[in-house]
Structure 1
Amino acid sequence: MPRAWIAPSSAGGDGTLNAAAFGVIEAGLPLGILPLGTANDLARTLHIPFDLDGAAQVIADGHTRRIDLGIVNGEPFFNVASLGLSAELAQKLTRDIKRRWGRLGYALVALKVLAQARPFRATITSETESVRVRTLQIAVGNGRFYGGGNAVEKDAAIDDQHLDLYSLELERAWKLALMARSFRYGQHGAWEEVRAVRAKEFDIRTRRPRPINADGEIVTQTPAHFSIRPAAVTVFAPK
């Protein structure tokens, strides 16, 4: 039997893959990805086709790639872990909304979250500095894409052995509309209201505990320690 067919495979979205991460590491086998979720950002990062026949062919071809895994308070994430706007979005984006509206559901709920958004204070500590910020969102990226195709940072890669953090230090959420193109291509660090930092570890503290969204699921809360496990997971990926 070909090796590709005895390896573990995950059919679902980014949250499903997130839940399988530690099991795959323990099994010591490559992970096959069948993207059946709403955003499928890990598949997008790895250039895995969204159609099932194409994704299955990637597994059958047997080419593998080792990728990094982000960790926040002991919980894994492939794409992004964040607090603020995206965590509020994850809390309000129910399975029923995803099932009924698909990707349009993200936009509908996001508009509601943005209308109610207010900045919060946080302390961000990396290997080189510690800063206090007033922000709408802090996101820490391991992979390249999140939120259905936005780039974490224009040069980010899921095997670069670094985390990419950005902090949205805006007073009004409406200005995000002006930044939409920059976020799509990972160029938001060029805006003076966006703090961008690359490091291997981050600590984030807030005045009161705030939920943290990891790949679309609320998994922990602040205070939070973010780190990276280089080349922790082997996946089937196109050449």
Structure 2
Amino acid sequence: MKKVKLLYNPFSGDNAIIKNLDNIFETYQENGYSVTPFRIGRKFPLEEAFDDIDDYEHLLLAGGDGTINNIVNTMKRLNVDCPVGILPTGTANDFALCLGMPKDISIACKQIIDSEVREVDLGRVNDKYFVNVASMGLFTEVSQRTNVNLKNNMGKLAYYFSGITELPRFKMLNLTITSDGFTFDGPSLIVFIFNGKSAGNLNIAYKSQIDDGMLDVVIVKGDVGVKTLISFFEFMMGEHLEKPKGVIHFTTNKLVIDSSEDIKTDIDGERGPDFPLNISCQKRSLKVLGYKL
């Protein structure tokens, strides 16, 4: 039998992977694979999952975007180039959804098994990679403060409600953003740098392509009063790229973001590095299975 290694985070989302382990084993076994599980946790260094990596056809990853981010960064650090299949078992699963993975785990497994290897882009901020999005501003504050149970139960509505409550007391970001032929210097409400398409299941960068060697940058400008509110709600409704009042959208393969302020950054739902940020697109840097056009 062919072998696949399952790396799973039992705490991602609402513990969905625990309920689906037997479905995964059954689907893979029916298709001529044996599955070796590796439980991600504090007691087990993630590096140990790759000790015998040459024995496996591919890796099967189960967790949210933060878990996938951690695995991919570990793979890059260890120079592991094994194809990965990603199951949507976390809270948001933005990267898995960008790849077109169905929510049904058994169907997702079959889609991975029946697919060909494709290469997709990764983003990089300083010395860390991101699979889906780097961000700063209101969305980052909301994401890091929103109750996990609220996210699990309400999905994207949790971000709507939390964003509304944060807006009146949110301090605008003062940033300098430079890219080829573009400079932004001033206040902003939200900044996204997308490799994928969505954040918190909000389909923000819906024009983004994950294998074009480019990142999609979305800046919600920090205008005060009514303009800020209008931009914010247009942004939440997914109309910001077609009706760009107060919103800047462009694509690039590299940019630099700097600020003298103490601003939190976020990559794939986890705390990101401090400024300055040197951000680039690493074209076709990850081998994936199950990618559905």
Match of 1:68 among 121, 145, 160: 121
Counterpart CA distance in 1 for 2:165 and 2:128 is 28
| Percent of paired sites with the same residue | 29
Q: Which residue of 2 aligns with 1:155?
A: 207
Aligned match of 1:191: 244
TM-score by length of 2: 0.73
- Residues in 2 aligned to 1:212 and 1:189: alpha-carbon distance in whole angstroms: 27
- Note the alpha carbon deviations across 1:2-45, whole angstroms, 9 max, x for none: 36553222111111111111334422111111111121111111
1:20 aligns with 2:76: no
Residue in structure 2 matched with residue 181 of structure 1 by the alignment: 237
Greater shift, 101-110 or 57-66, is seen at 101-110
Quick one: distance in 1 between partners of 2:244 and 2:161?
26
**Structure 1 residues 140 and 234, CA, compared in 2 at 3 Å: closer, same or farther?**
same
Alignment of 1:1-239 (within 5 A): 1-2=1-2, 5=33, 6=56, 7-25=58-76, 26-98=79-151, 103-152=156-205, 154-169=206-221, 170-172=223-225, 173-175=228-230, 176-183=232-239, 187-188=240-241, 190-239=243-292
Shift of 1:68: 0.4
**Helix, strand or coil: the match of 1:136?**
strand
Instruction: Give the residue type in structure 2 aligned to 1:17.
Output: I
Q: CA deviation at 1:113?
A: 2.1
Tell me if the contact between 1:90 and 1:217 (Cα under 8 Å) persists in the aligned partners: no
Instruction: Note the residue ranges of structure 2 that are not aligned, 5 or more in a row.
Output: 5-32, 34-55
Mapped to 2, the partners of 1:49 and 1:28 lie a distance apart of 25
Q: How many residues align?
A: 235
- Inter-partner Cα distance in structure 2 for 1:179 and 1:93: 19
- Quote the offset at 1:80 in angstroms: 1.1
Deviations 1:34-75 (A, max 9, x none): 111121111111111111111111222142211100011212
Cα distance in 2 for partners of 1:180, 1:219 equals 23
For 1:68-121, what per-residue CA distance to the aligned partner results, in whole angstroms no more than 9, with x for missing partners?
000112121111101111221132124454456555443442232223223222
| Aligned AA (2:233) | A
Q: CA contact under 8 A between 1:189 and 1:196: conserved in structure 2? A: no
8 Å Cα contact 1:166-1:189 kept in structure 2: no
Is this contact kept in 2: 1:24–1:30, CA < 8 A? no
* 1:46/1:237 contact within 8 Å kept: yes
**Over aligned residue pairs, what C-alpha RMSD do you find?**
2.2
Query: When the two structures are superposed, what TM-score results if normalisation uses the length of structure 1?
Result: 0.88
Contact between 2:197 and 2:204, CA under 8 Å: does it hold in 1?
yes
- 2:46 alignment counterpart: none
Between 209-218 and 105-114, the greater mean CA deviation after superposition: 105-114
The gaps in structure 1 that reach 5 residues or longer are none
CA distance in 2, matches of 1:112, 1:16: 28
Mapped to 1, the partners of 2:156 and 2:183 lie a distance apart of 37
Q: How many angstroms does 1:200 deviate by?
A: 1.0
